[in-house]
Structure 1
Amino acid sequence: MSKKKHRDRPSPETLGLAPVGVDTHAHLDMRGFEPAEIPDILARARAAGVARIGNVFLGPDAYARNAALFDDAPQVFFILGMHPTECSGYAEPLTAAMEAAFRANPRLRAVGEIGLDFYWDDAPPEDQKRALREQLEMARGLDLPVVIHSRSAEEETLAILADMGFSGRPLVWHCFGGDAELARRILAMGFFISVPGPVTYAKNTALAAAVAEIPLSRLLLETDAPFLTAEPWRGKRNEPALLGFTAVRVADIKGLSPHEVWRATADNAVSFFELEVL
């Protein structure tokens, strides 16, 4: 019987990145992570140069249940919104609960991830659209940035954002996986684009071509942990410590040094989410 070939997976610490990186989108409170693991996950992130992490709570119930997991982790900032697949029967009390949370806790820095997802059929499209509009209006009233999720619904998402006058407002297109044409349309509306681990996959040539065109000044980096792990750790659970491998690939695509991409995307995140300068 032949043995499986051992795969060499370099430690992210070997990348030697400065301790300034920002993982703008992770789900450390989701199933897949145990609460007792969080201190070790954060320690690994620090050792790999990740100074801040945006934890995304998928709705007010998740926030109320899990925010305390990060009481001893001031480097973690919060993002809160109703994911489109959870918006079946969306009702106004959800918006009210989230607005109250935002007003009570300054660690909540953005509304998200909100948007449209027509890939799954977990929530009717009209419910998703209503929820997106209500949450966009909440973000406008609170003067907060928006984190957009859009899957198999790019045309409808862009149309709603244009209709509601969101061009030029602080908004990031989370987990971008589109082509250069979609990137150009997002950039033309004044938005940011967040690049996840799949940019490291060899077959994602369209995504690589898009990243080549996105100005460094409009780029953010994310893990979307525990999902979408970058090479060379693909197939393993994702976590913020692995963000640097995405930065290295982006740097290669753009002909820059990883350190330049690492620092620039961190500066972008600090400005976008209005984080304290370390």
Structure 2
Amino acid sequence: MVRKGSSKVSKKKRERPDPASLGLARVGVESHAHLDMGEYEAGEIGPVLDRAAAAGVARVGNVFLGPAAFAAHRQYFDDRPEVFFLCGIHPCDAAKAAPGDLPALEAAFRAEPRLRAMGEIGLDYYWDQETKAVQRQVLGDQLALARSLDVPVAIHSREAEADTLSVLDDLGFRDRPLVWHCFGGGADLAREVLSRGWQVSIPGPVTYPKNTDLAAAVAAMDLGRVLLETDAPFLSPEPWRGKRNEPAYLAFTAARVAELTGRDVAAVWQATGDNARRFFGL
């Protein structure tokens, strides 16, 4: 933005390459996106998914933040069979959860085969420190439901890692199908998560130059435990940082993971896609 009265300075437009230019085969899996959120108009979803396909994304996991969002927005994807679903009560919504939400969540999972995992659920102390107890209660209730339904879990944990691990351990989730969504920690957290037999999902911030702890953690990971995600519309990777995120940009995250692990990007793309297909039963 140019302030009034200042002279306009000519700047070279930043180059933002098309993710399709990486030439990846259509075998990648976007494990976590929010395409039903207000950042996308309903008419944009088709073109967004078309761009993802052109960039090599075969399947897209859309995450509905609660049963009401699922009921209201699921029809957005009626003609897009490549999209599978996750649904859960986000920790930031825990204090607003209604008594009927858990039964509605159970009914949705029993009725909709495209629902492949419960999430994102977990704890978030970054936004709200006053609802820790209710967050833990809602998380525990959903974990119990996931166990009874025998579905995988996608965990959200922000500035709450110790409590999240404690709840999961107390409820016996070691070695159960669980992915740590939007992993942003260092080597210590990676060891805690991976030692319990879980997966990690790597988002766009792994491409940010200052995220050295995350980069080091990813470099040491067993690729067989790694999924990729955009968390669109948030957290766009370089070179699209600062713009609205979308599943096509997953290709740039894959390229960074390949660089960090010393592998070919096509191999990372195939392996992480296969990991997601196994995890979600696609």
TM-score under structure 1 normalisation?
Answer: 0.97
Counterparts in 2 of 1:57 and 1:123: CA distance versus 1, 3 Å: farther
Q: Name the residue aligned to 1:177.
A: 184
Deviation at 1:71, TM superposition (A): 0.1
The reply on whether 1:195 has 2:182 as its aligned counterpart is no
Match of 1:255 among 257, 262, 267: 262
Would you identify which runs of 4 or more consecutive aligned residues in structure 1 move more than 4 Å?
none
Give the partner amino acid of 1:262: W
Q: Name the residue aligned to 2:172.
A: 165
Q: Name the residue aligned to 1:139.
A: 146
Q: Deviations over 1:56-85 (max 9, x none)?
A: 000011000000000000000000000000
Give the partner amino acid of 1:69: Y
Structure 2 counterparts to residues 26-45 of structure 1, below 5 A: 26-45=33-52
Match of 2:87 among 72, 80, 83: 80
Q: What SS is found at the alignment partner of 2:155?
A: strand
Q: Name the residue aligned to 2:235.
A: 228
Deviation at 1:170, TM superposition (A): 0.2
Match of 1:97 among 89, 101, 104: 104
Share of identical aligned residues, percent? 60
The reply on whether 1:47 has 2:57 as its aligned counterpart is no
Give the partner amino acid of 1:78: F
Q: Is the 8 A contact 1:199 1:246 kept in 2?
A: yes
Give the partner amino acid of 1:39: G
CA distance in 2, matches of 1:192, 1:160: 17
The reply on whether 1:109 has 2:127 as its aligned counterpart is no
Larger Rg: 2
Q: Is the 8 A contact 1:88 1:123 kept in 2?
A: no
Q: What SS is found at the alignment partner of 2:163?
A: helix
Structure 2 segments unaligned to the other structure (5+ residues): 1-7
Q: Name the residue aligned to 1:204.
A: 211
Give the partner amino acid of 1:35: A
CA distance in 1, matches of 2:221, 2:159: 21
Give the partner amino acid of 2:35: L
Deviation at 1:242, TM superposition (A): 0.6
The reply on whether 1:66 has 2:80 as its aligned counterpart is no
Give the partner amino acid of 1:227: F
Q: Is the 8 A contact 1:85 1:122 kept in 2?
A: no
Q: Is the 8 A contact 1:88 1:128 kept in 2?
A: yes
CA distance in 2, matches of 1:71, 1:4: 44
CA distance in 2, matches of 1:236, 1:64: 29
Alignment size in residue pairs:
275
CA distance in 2, matches of 1:116, 1:101: 23
